[in-house]
Structure 1
Amino acid sequence: RYGEPIVTRIYNDLPTDRAKNNGFGRNETQLHFHNAHNGAESDGAANVHHFPGTFYDYRWSTALARRDKINTQAGDRRASGPDDNTGLVNVAGDFRELQGSMWAHDHRFFFTAENVYKGNLGAINYYSGPDRGNEELSDGVNLRLPSGKLLGWGNTDFDVNLIFSDCACDAGGQLYFDIFDTDGMLGDVPLVNFGFAPFFEVLPRKYRFRALNACMSRFLKLGLADAKGNPVPIKFIANDGNLVVTPLTLTALPVQGIAERYDFIVDFSGFKIGDRIQVVNHLRHEDGRRPKEELSLARALKGTSEDPVVGPMLEFRIVGAVESVDVPGVILRSTDPDKSQVPATLTEQIPIVTPVRTRLVEFGRSGTGDSRGPNGCTPDCGETVNFPWTIRINGESSHSMNANRISLLIPKAGEVEHWTYKNGGGGWDHPIHLHFEEGITMLRNGQTPGPTENLQRKDVWRLGESGSVTFQIQFGEFGGSYVNHCHNTVHEDFAMLARIQLLTGVAGTPQAAVTPTPNPTEYGVYFTTPEILPEGAPKGWTNTQQVQAQLNTSPKP
């Protein structure tokens, strides 16, 4: 909840022997809080993985963006978090940038896909004054979205996280992962909250669902179907954890790339006890590069042998009573009044303004990459791996990931830029994730995008084959090292990821200068001075405050 910073200590209790991994996965981890407004050292992607037998402390600040620019005295009640009862704790910042449906996952460079696939992930809900998680509290700020009422805030009786993923198994029933395939990892077993063919009992009333695509490479398109195969209408209320200005009534969700989150509301009050509703995936894949075909609901319901993850993934069953998960022992009944609401307006629009500068970031496939230098990769990677996936900035040379290379430098917090993410070729798709900040989506392929994207705040954008997306971005108060990358995590690991360096622009602060790169080892950390790509720095910028790393490349136990 906003207004309550948290220190989270992550212990690494994995085996010290890397070989004891059942064929894939790395026994080192850094945890990315996707996509919270946290300092770089607590973002989980600053090359700060840690080793078995150690822990790492993350400070999740629950900071609201623009707290140094807007509502600096915390007088706006909409910029707030719930207190321990039914009141509010005001915070500085812009209420239009409140976040909701988030998640956390492993981000060990070069091994993210393998570690996340093994289960190093979890859903996180951010609660605020408007998005309180209490559907009956009426105070002029709370939106009263479906959730529950037994707790002062954070009720989940009618507010449900759904993590959609897929997996493959070997002959022994254990998880299988192809570590040599650079195109993408597809499973043939559909999972929801890591269960196969699950059902969920619901009362005939409104529910909020927070859907996360946690597949490694699979895109999804989800819709609901009644017993006759008719689409069940839904109300789309949030994209990547950001409330939309006006709820949108849809017959199915838009295509959902890896790591995208869609919040939607389903009203089951028109169904009778005993009815069943299917959540159906409409999108067929042939390989991990991109979706192959979007099927009609009727065809998707029948499934296809070409892709076993097409078809029903989850069943809702209408029942007369369920036990509360918020207060176990309390029975919730279909006769209880539903006082939840879906207001016509959920937030306010952030305007598009003239940018200080524009940038073009192109994601493509070029040669074998340049991640491996004379001393190997930074951080260390597989010994024989090539890196076909690359990124180039403003039309210059293509590069693959190196944690000691800065590809994009932001010289001052608060400056507004317009970025275009471009897919450099056909035959594949990329869902691109920007850490730390959300962008306001302006254009798709040079045109106004559909209503679920147009002017919506997001942190993951599907580019489409040879497509592009343009968005407005304003980097905020923190400085340090962040990244942007393809969230097809196989593409990310091979190594479609680029470092972003944020400078605070405030003299005397630790991140006013470019920060040295941490290089963790079993016995300690040494630091190196990063390379800065010329095309990554704005025109006219000079590095006058470079902090030279104090090298100690061989820490001792």
Structure 2
Amino acid sequence: MTLAKFVDKLPIIRTIKPKGRMDGVPYYQMRIQQFKQKLHRDLPETTVWGLEGNYPGPTIEAKKNQLIKVEWMNELPSKHLLPVDTTIHGAEPNKPRVRTVVHLHGGVVQPDSDGYPDAWFTNGYREVGPEFKKKIYDYPNMQRGTTLWYHSHAIGITRLNVYAGVAGAYIIRDPAEKRLNLPKGKYEVTLLIQDRTFNDDGSLYYPCEPKPPIPNVCPSIVSDFFGDNILVNGKVWPYLEVEPRKYRFRIVNGSNSRFYRIGLSSSQPFYQIGTDGGFLESPVIAKKILIAPGERVDVIIDFSKLRGDNIVLTNNAPSPFPRGNPVNLTTEGQIMQFRVSKYLTSYDYSTIPYRLNIIKPLYERDARLERYLTLVRETDKYGRAFLLLDDKRWDDSITIKPLLGSIEVWTLINLANSTHPIHIHLVNFQILDRQPFDVEHYKKTGKILTTGPAVLPALNERGWKDTVRANPSEITRIIMRFVPYSGLYPWHCHILEHEDHEMMRPYEIIT
């Protein structure tokens, strides 16, 4: 189905207010629901999942170092909106089809508020009691001001729940940011980018083709999924009317598998000021920015000299990335449109400061140990391709047990044929370098034979990260300190089809 572009206004995601106070701190209620929503002018209303009647869900804003509580409530029906593959781990026939648990991606939280994949809850149907309809999580916000996002994280069906619509933005505001004089108020906009495919009746399409055929089973696990329509804030190819001035955009890649290498049709640059874990030290000027699933970028676009112009936010990342099909420039090659059509309502006093932040490096000499971890492609018992971390599955014994407070270097050895965005819960890390190596030599000997020099991360990756792109035929080294909590957390590929099919492992921080 081919839909017209730039006929719907970009929805501005509302910011939710606290419901009240609980134990003396702000308390939010977030009901996960099924409802209908208009996603494009020419589509019938689409049945989606979302929160508080919105897809994407409303934005939660919190102040740095201010504890809040969020009650996540499952009000979904017992039938899933999409085909559930009961052949994969965590979604077996004896499990409820509709399960949720919410993870605050990038959040520094205790294990029992992290949204552990096995900590799912239902709407009280089947044998599960009403006490499992909701969970209250504590978010202390003791971390740098930044853009996080929340999304469903239930084992075996994360890709389906997020695709159905269970996702939204979460912003931590640092009062010290005011001195930077960045664009703010209506000139600061969150852009949650996702891709979807629709059936003729406007319903969401997700593949259910047995490959290879499995008797009496309609699986929905595929190695990747790429929708042929790009949505921003829940609208297909929307437009945003802007004034001829500077705007700040907090961009989240909320797609299941799709990478975006964004640019502007005007050939002007972005001024990137932040990444996953907050501000960079200084703005990075770039005409293209690559964003993997789960990553966030914070950019300023200056429209001051473009009065009357229409500018398209473009994408030229192949799918799968980086060796997949080239972008169709008439569909996924376009994301949204900016129309510099509004009058300047007041003088633009905002600035793009030279210095944003001080980032203290972590040093390899302080690392307690270096772990060598492989990203491998295997075949499951049905002959389907699936990806693993260190050749292990979710339920295998825990092999990574860092000491609380210790520093480690993780060397990610990508033996597969695509880039994997690796997300580690709880911690922020720094990227040390990437280096090409001989994959076949490693497979034969288990030893790394490098084939070129180590390369430092791109300038816009030299900040705090929680998701890193591990490229094929490269080793990617990251360094992190395991603070401030002990306990059990996951790490996984953030291509959701990979995560759901065993490319996820627990690790345990011990004391």
* Residue of structure 1 equivalent to 2:303: 268
Task: Indicate which of 396, 399, 407 corresponds to 1:407.
Answer: 399
1:21 corresponding residue in structure 2 = 81
| Of 124, 142, 158, the match for 1:63 | 142
1:32 maps to amino acid: H
Determine the structure 2 residue equivalent to 1:347. 357
Partner residue, 1:541: none
* AA partner of residue 421 (structure 1): L
Find out whether 1:316 has 2:338 as its counterpart. Answer: yes
Secondary structure, in 3 states, of the residue corresponding to 2:180?
coil
Q: Distance in 2 between matches of 1:49 and 1:450?
A: 37
2:409 counterpart residue number: 418
Cα drift, residue 385 of structure 1: 9.9
Number of the residue aligned with 1:536: none
Deviations 1:170-208 (A, max 9, x none): 233211112434311111111111211211011111111
Q: Matched residues in 2 for 1:144 and 1:360: separation?
A: 43
Contact 1:212 1:260 in 2 (8 A): yes
Deviates more, 1:178-187 or 1:114-123: 178-187
In 2, the alpha carbon distance for the partners of 1:405 and 1:387 equals 23
Task: Give the TM-score taking structure 1 as reference length.
Answer: 0.68
State the distance in 1 between where 2:261 and 2:120 align: 33
Say which of 361, 372, 395 aligns to 2:373.
361
Structure 1 position 52 matched with structure 2 position 60: no
**1:415-455 deviations in whole A, cap 9, x for unaligned?**
111111221222x22111111111111101232222122x3
Q: CA deviation at 1:46?
A: 5.3
The CA distance in 1 between the partners of 2:338 and 2:81, in whole Å, is 36
Tell me the distance in 1 between the aligned counterparts of 2:309 and 2:247. Answer: 16
Aligned partners of 2:342, 2:203: CA distance in 1, in Å? Answer: 38
- 1:483–1:499 contact (8 Å) kept in structure 2: yes
SS in 2 for 1:270: coil
Report what 1:430 is aligned to. 420
Structure 1 residues 433 and 499: CA distance shift in structure 2, 3 A: same
Q: Which residue of 2 aligns with 1:278?
A: 312
| C-alpha contact (below 8 Å) 1:184/1:490 kept by paired residues | yes
Give the letter for the 1:56 counterpart: K
238 and 293 in structure 1: CA distance in 2 versus 1, 3 angstrom threshold: farther
Aligned partners of 1:262, 1:451: CA distance in 2, in Å? 13
Relative distance call for 1:314 and 1:291 in structure 2 (3 A) is farther
Work out the CA distance in 2 between the residues paired with 1:494 and 1:468. 23
Q: What is residue 287 of structure 2 aligned with on the other side?
A: 251
Contact 2:184/2:248 (<8 A) preserved: yes
The structural deviation recorded for 1:351 is: 2.0
Residue 292 of structure 1 pairs with residue 282 of structure 2: no
The alignment partner of 1:498 has SS state of strand
Instruction: Find the counterpart in structure 1 of residue 465 from structure 2.
Output: 458
CA contact (8 A) 1:219 1:291 kept: no
Shift of 1:245: 0.5
Deviation, structure 1 residue 388: 2.5
SS at match of 2:476: strand
The code of the aligned residue for 1:423 comes to N
Q: For residues 135-174 of structure 1, what are the structure 2 equivalents within 5 Å?
A: 142-148=179-185, 157-174=186-203
Q: 2:474 aligns with which of 461, 467, 474?
A: 467
Give the whole-Å Cα distance in 2 for the aligned partners of 1:498 and 1:225.
Answer: 40
Post-superposition CA distance 1:489-538 (Å, at most 9, x none) = 000000100001112x2xxxxxxxxxxxxxxxxxxxxxxxxxxxxxxxxx
The answer for the alignment partner of 1:441 in structure 2 is 431
Contact 1:216–1:488 at 8 Å: present in 2 too? Answer: yes
For 2:304, what is the secondary structure of its paired residue? helix
The match for 1:30 among 101, 109, 114 is 101
The answer as to whether partners of 1:390 and 1:401 remain within 8 angstroms in 2 is no
Secondary structure at the residue paired with 2:165?
Answer: coil
Question: In the TM superposition, what whole-angstrom CA distance separates every residue of 1:318-362 from its partner, at most 9, and x where no partner exists?
Answer: 1334xxxxxxxxxxxx14121212211111121232111111121
8 Å Cα contact 1:184-1:491 kept in structure 2: yes
Report the 3-state secondary structure (helix = DSSP H, G, I; strand = E; otherwise coil) of the residue aligned with 1:388.
strand
C-alpha contact (below 8 Å) 2:405/2:483 kept by paired residues:
yes
Secondary structure of 1:347's match?
Answer: coil
Using the TM superposition, give the Cα deviation of residue 99 of structure 1 relative to its aligned residue in structure 2, in angstroms.
3.5
**1:467, distance to aligned residue in structure 2 (A):** 2.1
Displacement of 1:291 after TM fit?
A: 4.8
Counterpart residue type for residue 264 of structure 1: V
Q: 1:240 aligns with which of 262, 276, 284?
A: 276
CA distance in 1: counterparts of 2:384 and 2:140, whole angstroms? 38
Amino acid at match of 1:401: W
Please tell me the residue identity of whatever aligns with 2:271. Answer: K
Q: What amino acid is aligned across from residue 199 of structure 1 in structure 2?
A: Y
Structure 1 Cα separation of the partners of residues 399 and 430 of structure 2: 22
Deviation at 1:22, TM superposition (A): 4.5
- 1:218 touches 1:290 (CA, 8 Å); kept in 2? no
Q: Secondary structure at the match of 2:335?
A: strand
Residues 33, 43 of structure 1: 8 Å contact kept: yes
SS in 2 for 1:14: coil
How many angstroms apart in 2 are the aligned matches of 1:479 and 1:425?
Answer: 32
SS of 2:460's partner is coil
8 Å Cα contact 1:100-1:241 kept in structure 2:
yes
Alpha-carbon separation, structure 1, partners of 2:231 and 2:155: 25
Partner amino acid for 2:474? Answer: G
Percent identity (aligned): 27
Structure 1 residue runs of 4+, over 6 Å off?
A: 384-387
- Give, in angstroms, the shift of residue 390 of structure 1: 1.2
Distance 1:130 1:210, change over 3 A: same
Q: Which has the higher strand share?
A: 2
TM-score (norm 2): 0.74
Say whether the 8 Å CA contact 2:423–2:494 is kept in structure 1.
yes
Distance 1:425 1:4 in 2: 42
Are the structure 2 counterparts of residues 492 and 46 from structure 1 closer, same or farther at C-alpha, using a change threshold of 3 Å? closer
